[in-house]
Amino acid sequence: MTTDPVVLAYSGGLDTSVAIGWIKERTGRDVIAVAVDVGQGGEDLEVIRRRALACGAVDAVVADARDEFATEYCMRALQANARYQGVYPLVSALSRPVITKHLVQVARDAGAHTVAHGCTGKGNDQVRFEVSITSQAPDMTCLSPVRDLALTRDVAIDYAEKHELPIETTKHNPFSIDQNVWGRAVETGYLEDIWNAPTKDVYTYTDDPTYPPLPDEVTIRFEAGIPVAVDGVELSPLGVIEELNRRAGAQGIGRIDLVEDRLVGIKSREIYECPGAVTLLEAHAELERVTLEREQARFKRQVDTRWSEIIYDGQWYSPLKASLDAFIDDTQRHVNGEIRMILHGGRAVVTGRRSDTGLYDFSLATYDSGDTFDQSSARGFIDIYGLPVKLAAAREARLAQADAS
């Protein structure tokens, strides 16, 4: 091994498997592969580790970060109601900070100063990886074989076939897929024509919502904005997400077809399926409607939007994100209670809410006897509330009369 190896974010797929040998050929430096499990499922970590070694890595490190990812990243996104452009639950964007955290640690342990990734030069992930890495380790540099060493997809396929690398991706399976416990993202191939509808083979996390099973009623309990139990069974954040992935996925919930605005300035068509994430986001947002004060809730919607944007843009470790986190943390103190939902036919519909820390007052809200709202106060409130626009309207009428004369 050279004194300064390259640490590579390794997924076990085509691009990063080929990148191991490609980096060695182009730079003369050995490669340490790092695979981080964030709940992507599929192959065992040991299988991925052995594949990295078979592809030429001098060492391969695997890390089980599923609980860490669910607790410290997905739950933070849930508290922020995070959906980029109001739709996308940040599946890939959320995983990059935890992956880079482990990459930087391995690089430090190995005495390496270069971290590599398999991202393209026109995607968001190159920014997310590199900004996250240098935010944690300003002394490190980043390398992208695809962008910096001309490792295009067709070249990668030919290289893999020529060197008989033990990977399955071929010219007959052109999709680029990224997945974790929070969801799944699919792009490239025929999906790049935005007129083409996705075919059933695109989906694996969700069943076809056109032919759903019987409706599934679920109750989710939250404490401080974090789900802690499903149908009375206490679960870890990872356990909650996995349980709802299973149940909401069976109902076809969480399918998203989005043409999104990438950070690098182009539009991209992405297919997402996020059954657990979408269900939890709907439930959490509804509980906030019950527990947050009106002006606090209005301002938080702006904060949530900005939080989603900076995470999409790779700014997990930024000062702004830390400041927004502090505000969000404060808003979650009273987000406690239960949300009941019906999962069916591609939709997660809230049917019940209850909270001991909520602001809903039945006696104030009811129109029946027992109403404690003082309706006589309304007239004075309306007079004062409408006074500014009343004065403005009077001015316009006065000026119009003067012009007419």
Known binding residues: 9-17, 88, 118, 120, 124-125, 128, 176, 260, 272
**Rounded alpha-carbon distances, angstroms, from residue 260 to 85, 201, 228:** 8, 22, 32
Catalytic residue among 83, 96, 184, 255: 96
Q: Which residues are annotated as a binding site for ATP?
A: 9-17, 118
Q: Which residues pair with 114 in a beta bridge?
A: 6, 141
Catalytic residue among 176, 207, 221, 347: 176
Assess whether 15 carries a catalytic annotation: yes
SS (H, E, C) the chain: CCCCCEEEECCCCHHHHHHHHHHHHHHCCCEEEEEEECCCCCCCHHHHHHHHHHCCCCEEEEEECHHHHHHHHHHHHHHCCCCECCCECCHHHHHHHHHHHHHHHHHHHHCCCEEECCCCCCCCHHHHHHHHHHHHCCCCEEECHHHHCCCCHHHHHHHHHHCCCCCCCCCCCCCEEEEECCEEEEECHHHHCCCCCCCHHHCCCCCCCCCCCCCEEEEEEEECCEEEEECCEECCHHHHHHHHHHHHHHCCCCEEEEEEECCCCCEEEEEEECHHHHHHHHHHHHHHHHHCCHHHHHHHHHHHHHHHHHHHCCCCCCHHHHHHHHHHHHHHHHCCEEEEEEEECCEEEEEEEECCCCCCCHHHHCCCCCCCCCCCHHHHHHHHHCHHHHHHHHHHHHHHHHHHC
Q: Which residues are annotated as a binding site for L-aspartate?
A: 120, 124-125
Q: Which residues are annotated as a binding site for L-citrulline?
A: 88, 124, 128, 176, 260, 272
Catalytic residue among 30, 37, 125, 207: 125
Assess whether 176 carries a catalytic annotation: yes
Assess whether 125 carries a catalytic annotation: yes
Looking at the annotation, which residues are catalytic? Answer: 15, 96, 125, 176
